[in-house]
Amino acid sequence: MTLITQSIRTFFRKNFVAYTGFSLAFFFAIPLTAQETALDEVIVSSPRIALAFDEQSRTVTVISAQDIEQSGSATLVDVLRQVAGIDIRSRGTQDVQSDIYVRGGGFDQTLLLIDGIKVDDPQTGHHTLNAIIPLDMIERVEILKGAAGRVYGQNAFTGAINIVTKKSTKEGMKAVISGGSYGYQKAALLVSDVRDSSNHTLYLESISSDGYRYNTDYYNQNYLWKSNWETSAHPIELIASFNNRHFGANGFYAKPENTDQYEVTQSSLLGISTSFQPNSNLLIQPKVYWKRGQDEYIFIRNNPSIYRNLHITNKLGAEVNGTWEHKMGTTGVGFELASVSIQSNNLGEHARTLVHGYLEHRFASNRWDITPGFSVSHYSDQDTFFYPGIDVGFQITGNSRLYFNSGYTYRIPTYTDLYYSDSSTLGNEFLRPEKALSTELGFRHRQNNWKLSLALFQRDAKNYIDYVKSAGDERWQATNIDQILSQGGELDVVVNINRHKFAMGYAYLKDDVERISSVLSRYAINSRKHHVSSRWTLRWNSFITSSVSYRYAEQDSGYNYNVVDANMSYAKGRVKLSLSAHNILNAAYTEQNLVPMPKGHALLSLHYQLY
């Protein structure tokens, strides 16, 4: 880890004055009183063995609904930006089109789940965040960083994010109206119905904007329905969501001078799940789901006949997971079967069958726990993959934990990787699946009003898939890169004192790419080397809350930027009024494909509880 230590020292020498001054200003603003706010305990849900946060032997971050509300964020993309080790690269404002990278991995290497249902898109990971749901419907977000192939299988190459939706506890109706810069308008309605043995929630949302520059206007619609039935035999949960996005894509994908691109995407999910216990030691959780995606891309917005792509994907799946507690420990076992297909005028028509199974067992004695396990995935059009791994934890004290985990993970190429072709990009149907061995050593401490976590990790990836070229005029070609060795570390500190909350995160990543330095990389070989994020939240009184956030990002190429956001909200009775200001220092920066991000802009929102 000598390389990591030297690079971290260099970073803080270069940025010491600015960042130290910013941090000290936050800390000196905090009155150090005796009053403390206890950090909540949560059970981290998983299709595997469910454990309390303090019993996890992996790097897990849990963002609660309260955290989201205090942040003043308008979308989940804004929330994820504040997590060290997560790199959000957007093209445009809000969450119009964003890619997510975890610990330097590509956007195809992060698995997104909603209530434990995998909503990955076989066309491309560019559509991963199309499936996210509105913040008003999120109970918490669970982020698992590091290889999660043994836990979730395909696509969890560098991490997984599970969105847990809210369950209605009382009847009510809430309306939201927002307005802001660039002609931003939002209207939303949330209706909850609670009965003796069931509860139901409906959420409707419409968002539009004129755009912050030519051809960046957008119109988004989000709909979500969730129902729970508490029957005498076993509970039943249903979730249905539909996201529809229309947006001008000025320079989003092709060359920056291609300013008239346009895109329409849809993401649909329908899932039904239940659980039952034949006895007190055995829990069985089956579920069935259908995930549909649609992507229409038009090169010249007002003349689709010049170039137009239409892709439609479907995934129909069923899985059952079981947990058995016995005198030897806890055993988790499960099975998944899914049918995946795509219809596209560019990629062609393809279909595959996925069969996935896993087995793991947790041994726990005194302060030690060891969880070995494996999963196996078979793809009818690819191969069979074996994901072994192990988690080891040692509870140093009641508040401190040391942990280690290691495991293999794979990712098969997306349909875009294999078959896409246009004037600037070329797929490769002979691509081999990616493979990596990931190892992590971590420490976590929680005590009353503060918590600290530290993790060091290494990922040795082979057959890494990226789009590369040797000269500026060539097409980007999907290619297997022989090997990328990634090493990094993450530090997170959260302090709650009286009415103040201070959170600071730092992530470092170094990719060893000397063997492939002769080529240009479109995505993978320009990772975020340094990432600093911090937030100060102050509850002035029972009505007013404010927050200020700062983030610094530096890519491996040396390109860097600083962004500061602020929020203030007033809540009393049925009314909540919030004002958010983004990029208040007017930083000029880009996150993806040289698309300039918007300068300073603001949003004003009114939430009214009708009953």
Which pLDDT value is given to residue 424? 82
Q: Give the residue-averaged pLDDT of 564-574.
A: 95
Evaluate if residue 415 carries a pLDDT over 80.
Answer: yes
Reduced to 3 states (helix: H, G, I; strand: E, B; else coil), residue 1 is coil
Which pLDDT value is given to residue 515? 56
Token pair for 47:
């299709």
Which pLDDT value is given to residue 459? 95
Let me know if 372 is exposed, middle or buried by CB neighbors in 10 A (0-12, 13-18, 19+).
middle
Which pLDDT value is given to residue 592? 86
Reduced to 3 states (helix: H, G, I; strand: E, B; else coil), residue 366 is coil
Evaluate if residue 294 carries a pLDDT over 90.
Answer: yes
The rounded distance, in Å, linking the Cα atoms of 54 and 393 is 10
- Residue type, position 529, single letter: K
Let me know if 364 is exposed, middle or buried by CB neighbors in 10 A (0-12, 13-18, 19+).
middle
Cβ atoms of 292 and 271 closer than 8 Å: no
The rounded distance, in Å, linking the Cα atoms of 96 and 245 is 8
Sign of the torsion angle spanned by Cα atoms 92, 188, 80, 199 = negative
Give tens-digit pLDDT for 153-163. Answer: 777 899 999 99
Max avg pLDDT among 48-62, 230-244, 282-296, 510-524: 282-296
State the total domains in the chain.
1
Per the model's pLDDT, the better-predicted residue between 3 and 380 turns out to be 380
User: Given pLDDT bands bounded at 50, 70 and 90, which one contains residue 26?
Assistant: very low
Which pLDDT value is given to residue 523? 65
Which pLDDT value is given to residue 280? 87
Fill in the DSSP letter of residue 126. Answer: G
Owner of token pair 């509970």: 235
- Residue type, position 348, single letter: G
Evaluate if residue 519 carries a pLDDT over 50.
Answer: yes
Evaluate if residue 29 carries a pLDDT over 50.
Answer: no
Which pLDDT value is given to residue 40? 45
Lowest pLDDT segment from 175-179, 235-239, 256-260, 579-583: 256-260
Evaluate if residue 19 carries a pLDDT over 60.
Answer: no
Which pLDDT value is given to residue 36? 36
Which pLDDT value is given to residue 14? 46
Q: Which of 257, 210, 307, 264 is nearest to 97 (CA)?
A: 264
User: Given pLDDT bands bounded at 50, 70 and 90, which one contains residue 31?
Assistant: very low
Cβ atoms of 376 and 384 closer than 8 Å: yes
Evaluate if residue 516 carries a pLDDT over 90.
Answer: no
Query: With left for phi above 0 and alpha for psi between -120 and 50, is residue 280 left, alpha or beta?
Result: alpha
Neighbour-count burial for 412-444, b at 16+ CB within 10 Å, e otherwise: bbbbbbbbbebeebbbbeebebbbbebbbbbeb
Token pair for 501:
């909350």
Evaluate if residue 233 carries a pLDDT over 90.
Answer: no
Evaluate if residue 540 carries a pLDDT over 90.
Answer: yes
Mean pLDDT across the chain: 88
Per the model's pLDDT, the better-predicted residue between 152 and 198 turns out to be 198
Evaluate if residue 249 carries a pLDDT over 90.
Answer: yes
The rounded distance, in Å, linking the Cα atoms of 471 and 277 is 61
Cβ atoms of 585 and 548 closer than 8 Å: no
Q: Give the residue-averaged pLDDT of 352-360.
A: 94
Which pLDDT value is given to residue 153? 76
Which pLDDT value is given to residue 48? 64
Fill in the DSSP letter of residue 36. Answer: B
Q: Which of 541, 540, 563, 539 is nearest to 550 (CA)?
A: 563
Q: Give the residue-averaged pLDDT of 541-563.
A: 93
User: Given pLDDT bands bounded at 50, 70 and 90, which one contains residue 38?
Assistant: very low
Give tens-digit pLDDT for 307-329. Answer: 999 999 999 999 999 999 999 99
Other CB atoms within a 10 A radius of the CB of residue 565 amount to 23
Q: Give the residue-averaged pLDDT of 585-606.
A: 93
CA atoms within 13 A on the CB side of 489: 15
Which pLDDT value is given to residue 150? 81
What share of the chain has pLDDT > 70, as a percent? 90
Evaluate if residue 186 carries a pLDDT over 70.
Answer: yes
Which pLDDT value is given to residue 8? 44
Which pLDDT value is given to residue 254? 76
Which pLDDT value is given to residue 15? 46
The CATH number of the domain where 101 resides is what? 2.40.170.20
Which pLDDT value is given to residue 43? 56
Which pLDDT value is given to residue 428? 94
Which pLDDT value is given to residue 21? 39
Give tens-digit pLDDT for 417-459. Answer: 999 998 888 999 999 999 999 999 999 999 889 999 999 999 9
Fill in the DSSP letter of residue 254. Answer: S
Evaluate if residue 141 carries a pLDDT over 80.
Answer: yes
- Residue type, position 218, single letter: Y
Cβ neighbors of 63 (< 8 A, separation 6 or more) are 79, 83, 140, 141, 143
User: Given pLDDT bands bounded at 50, 70 and 90, which one contains residue 532?
Assistant: very high
Cβ atoms of 134 and 188 closer than 8 Å: yes
Token pair for 136:
């008003």
* Domain encompassing residue 523: 2-609
The rounded distance, in Å, linking the Cα atoms of 567 and 604 is 10
Fill in the DSSP letter of residue 471. Answer: S
User: Given pLDDT bands bounded at 50, 70 and 90, which one contains residue 593?
Assistant: confident
Token pair for 104:
């330097």
Cβ atoms of 150 and 374 closer than 8 Å: yes
Which pLDDT value is given to residue 32? 35
The rounded distance, in Å, linking the Cα atoms of 315 and 354 is 10
